[in-house]
Structure 1
Amino acid sequence: MTTIATPHGPFSVLVDSQGTVLASGWTTDLDSLLALVHPTLRDDVGGDAAVALAAVDAYYAGDSSAPARVPVRQHSGEFRMHAWDVLRRVAPGAPVTYTEFAALADRPAATRAAAGACAMNAAALFVPCHRVVRSDGTLGGFRYGLDIKQALLEIERTRAA
């Protein structure tokens, strides 16, 4: 695990032997991040996180799309894995509702499953689940706190304007 300072606190990344992000978030708790990594991927934790950390730095320096250019590897069921790929295509500054996210993931009636994909996302920022909000515009949940989710959305909204 490698940790860097960000304006929203320490940000840690776990990568595999190829530098692919397995888990990330605003924490220094290795055990909490490792618990998010699918058991079949845990044996490969421990590569060089330089590319991932450079993307986090670039994000905070003004390039909201930088994390989307870093490979991510998560494992789950077919819908959830597809939903995580879809999340990576949600543009900075253009958040979607959980209902819209479900439709983008080709399952318009699966709003709860779409919300579950956000909740189970291990690779915060790299898979931008913070870009999904409730249909009434309120934030919903976020593993690292609503203050960080709101700040990220505001950063991206300001940059996109």
Structure 2
Amino acid sequence: MMLKYQTIETPAGPLTIVVGETGAVRAAGFTTEIDELLPLIHPRLREQATPVDDVGPVAAQTRSYFDGDRAALGAVPVEQRTDGSFMAHAWQVMREIKPGHPVTYTQFAELAGRPAAVRAAATACARNPVALYTPCHRVLRLDGSLGGYRWGTPVKQWLLDYEAE
């Protein structure tokens, strides 16, 4: 088994997508450096990665998203693994946050069923290996400010502005 990856140009910057054998996204980020993405993949899912010209339906769905179909990413399969059950659940809940409807870390913790676990909810965002597809960019600080984003707050702001249109 081997991972495949492709970097596509987007209005938010270059996006590298790493997929497994089934075509599910295992890592993604606004970078051209595969070495920034591979360590984000759970060790049980990490394999050698080979560049390809097309990672398949994921690339097409991603282009549809950037061409205006804000809901296109919801159909993209992801394969995330963690050693903690809350984080796995939080990532699943994060995928249900709709474009144009960001939530605060507090609201995200509530949606994940653990209202007091705001810090754990923030950690789920920070450790998310499949940026864009598990949309951690849609989670904001209580005061509505951006908070952090692994790929830079200008990218996060661009995505939020794009989804709000």
Instruction: Return the TM-score normalized by structure 2.
Output: 0.92
CA contact (8 A) 1:2 1:14 kept: yes
Kindly provide the CA deviation profile for residues 67-95 of structure 1, in whole angstroms up to 9, marking residues without a partner as x. 11111011111000100000000011000
Fraction of identical pairs, as percent:
51
Pair 1:75-2:81 in alignment? yes
Pair 1:17-2:28 in alignment? no
The match for 1:135 among 125, 137, 142 is 142
Alpha-carbon distance, 1:25 to partner: 1.0
Q: Distance in 2 between matches of 1:44 and 1:114?
A: 30
Unaligned runs of 5+ in 1: none
Match in the other structure for 1:122: 129
Alpha-carbon distance, 1:52 to partner: 1.2
Q: How does 1:81-96 map to 2 (within 5 A)?
A: 81-96=88-103
Match in the other structure for 1:57: 63
Unaligned runs of 5+ in 2: none
Q: How does 1:142-157 map to 2 (within 5 A)?
A: 142-157=149-164
Matched residue type, 1:89: E
Higher helix share: 1
Q: How does 1:99-114 map to 2 (within 5 A)?
A: 99-114=106-121
Q: Distance in 2 between matches of 1:10 and 1:120?
A: 20
Equivalent residue of 2:157, what SS?
A: helix
Instruction: Return the TM-score normalized by structure 1.
Output: 0.94
Equivalent residue of 1:3, what SS?
A: strand
Match in the other structure for 1:38: 42
